[in-house]
Amino acid sequence: MDVSTFLVLAVTGLAAGFLGGMVGVGGGIIMVPMMVFVLGMTQKTAQGTSLAVMMIPISIGVAVYNYWKQGEINFTYAFIIAGFFAIGGFFGSRLALSIDQQWVKKIFAILMLIVAVKMFFGK
């Protein structure tokens, strides 16, 4: 791995981690586009890598700790969502891997656009 690739990976991780800790985003909004557009990964490889990246910091709970200290976590909701997230992630990844890469990229872009418009114009 050359230095420029390492720097892109480091900046991507820092930005995704910072924004993940700050506003709860990172994987899809930061890491996937960086890996596709800057590192030249396919959409599917970027998505899989993004999911794999999140396994490590999430499993050790470094970002969660700060929110927990301030009493800002509803663990009941978190465990319920996590259980269904695992099920949804399993089926979503199977679907993504079974359809054409261009469709996955278009679905991803449309979803980001809808979320952006809703967040910008919503309450």
The 10s digit of each residue's pLDDT in 13-72 is 888 777 776 666 667 788 888 889 999 999 999 888 888 888 877 777 777 888 899 999
58 vs 94 pLDDT, higher one: 94
**Residue-range definition of the domain harbouring residue 40:** 3-121
Predicted confidence at residue 22, as pLDDT, reads 65
Count up the domains in the chain and report the number.
1
Predicted confidence at residue 14, as pLDDT, reads 85
Please list the alpha-helical segments (H only) found in the chain: 3-23, 32-33, 43-60, 62-69, 75-98, 101-121
Q: Is the Cβ–Cβ distance between 25 and 50 less than 8 Å?
A: no
The 10s digit of each residue's pLDDT in 68-88 is 999 999 889 888 888 888 888
